[in-house]
Amino acid sequence: MTFADLRDAVCKANIDTVRHGLVKATFGNASAIDRETGRVIIKPSGVPFEVMTPDDMVIADLTGGAYDNRLRPSSDLDTHLVLYRAFPEIGAVVHTHSTFATIFAQARTPIPTFGTTHADYFHGEIRVTRNLTDEEIRDRYVAATGNVIVEAFEGRDPLEVPAILVAGHGPFAWGRTPEEAVLHATILEEVAKMAWHSMMLDRNLPPISQSLMDRHYRRKHGTGATYGQD
């Protein structure tokens, strides 16, 4: 994929978050990284999605410097940069304030693996980050948001559970491509909605078994011994 194609894909990913009902107003942002050059492409801050074009995308340096556009980058750029630095296997990040995922983030409640819809895309519960300290909020808010996400992933493969809930804020999802990151953000919202309703029916509902979760995740991702047979 050329850099121009990637820029088009980032613009489309941002617009798709609205199309899928994940974003209202100018909440949310999608970005991608060109790993060969280390350049990150992200939507501009505060520009309405209806009028956004590929030319409006802002190109930043992975180290956080040098923007090359007339527009300011998304206010969440530094969070995306922390994720690209910490997770070399990811190629795109999507942040939304989608309703049900944000409800779980605000309630500081992880989303358990209640069913196979969840396990088909996420190999384990969706975790919630710790709260940011007052000092982090004051001195380095946006990067610290990335740091608490990375902290919450200690010992966990970011592509096996490609999403997180930032406490009191909202969801971040990612993938290898902008399309995949939008898909994960969309499935996350669906899974959060199902989990919330399941919890209303049974507050003590247990997650599905490890073996059912493994079977569903692995058959969908081609790593199970019986891949191709079920």
Ligand X SMILES: O=C(CO)[C@@H](O)[C@H](O)COP(=O)(O)O
- Residues recognised as catalytic: 120, 227
| Site map (CB under 6 A) of ligand X, residues 76-95, x = contact | x------------------x
- Calculated CA dihedral for residues 220, 221, 223, 225, nearest 10 degrees: 10
Greatest C-alpha distance within the chain: 54
The amino acid at residue 110 is P
Instruction: Tell which positions 99-118 bind ligand X, by CB under 6 A.
Output: none
Please, what is the minimum distance in Å from the beta carbon of residue 45 to ligand X?
3
Interaction between residue 74 and ligand X (CB under 6 A):
yes
> Residue 143: exposed, middle, or buried by beta-carbon count in 10 A (0-12, 13-18, 19+)?
middle
| Site map (CB under 6 A) of ligand X, residues 45-64, x = contact | xx------------------
CA gap 217, 69 in Å, rounded: 41
Kindly write down the DSSP assignment for every residue of 159-194, as one continuous string: TTS-EEEETTTEEEEEESSHHHHHHHHHHHHHHHHH
Please, what is the minimum distance in Å from the beta carbon of residue 153 to ligand X?
19
Which of residues 18 and 119 has its CB atom nearest to ligand X in the complex?
18
Please, what is the minimum distance in Å from the beta carbon of residue 89 to ligand X?
24
**Whether the Cβ atoms of residue 212 and residue 224 lie closer than 8 Å to each other:** no
Interaction between residue 26 and ligand X (CB under 6 A):
yes
Query: Given candidates 20, 24, 27, 160, which one binds ligand X under the rule CB under 6 A?
Result: 27
Interaction between residue 75 and ligand X (CB under 6 A):
yes
Q: Tell me which residues touch ligand X (CB under 6 A).
A: 26-29, 45-46, 74-76, 95
